[in-house]
Structure 1
Amino acid sequence: MSMIDRIRRRRMISREARAINRAWEAAPTQALRDEIAVFAQRRMPY
C-alpha cells in the first residue's frame, strides 16, 4: 500500500468516525444511540 493510499484511508476513517459521532449525538433516543454504537463497532476497522 502506498503512502498516499494510507493517507486517504486514514482520512476516510476519520471522516466516518466524525459522521458516526454526529449521528450518535443527534440521536433522539437511547435505543437509536445503542444501534449506532453497534453499527460503529462493526464498521470501524480497529
Structure 2
Amino acid sequence: MSMIDRIRRRRMISRQNRAIDRAMQSAPTQSMRDEIAFFSQRQPS
C-alpha cells in the first residue's frame, strides 16, 4: 500500500468518524444512538 493510499484511507476513516459523531449528537433517542453505534461498529475497516 502506498503512502498516498494510507493518507487517503486515514482521511476517509476520520471523515466517517466525524459523520458518525454528528449522527450520534443529533439522534433524538438513546435507542437511535445505540443503533448508530451498532452499525458503525459493523463497518468493514
Q: TM-score range by the shorter chain?
A: over 0.9
Q: TM-score, normalised by structure 1?
A: 0.90
> Share of identical aligned residues, percent?
71
Q: Where does residue 4 of structure 1 map in the other structure?
A: 4
Whole-Å separation in 2 of the counterparts to 1:14 and 1:7:
11
Q: Which structure 1 residue ranges, 5 or more long, are not aligned?
A: none
Q: TM-score, normalised by structure 2?
A: 0.92
Tell me: higher relative CO, structure 1 or 2? Use CA pairs within 8 A at least 6 residues apart: 1
Q: Deviations over 1:1-46 (max 9, x none)?
A: 100000000000000000000000100011100000001111162x
Q: Which structure 2 residue ranges, 5 or more long, are not aligned?
A: none
Count matched residues: 45
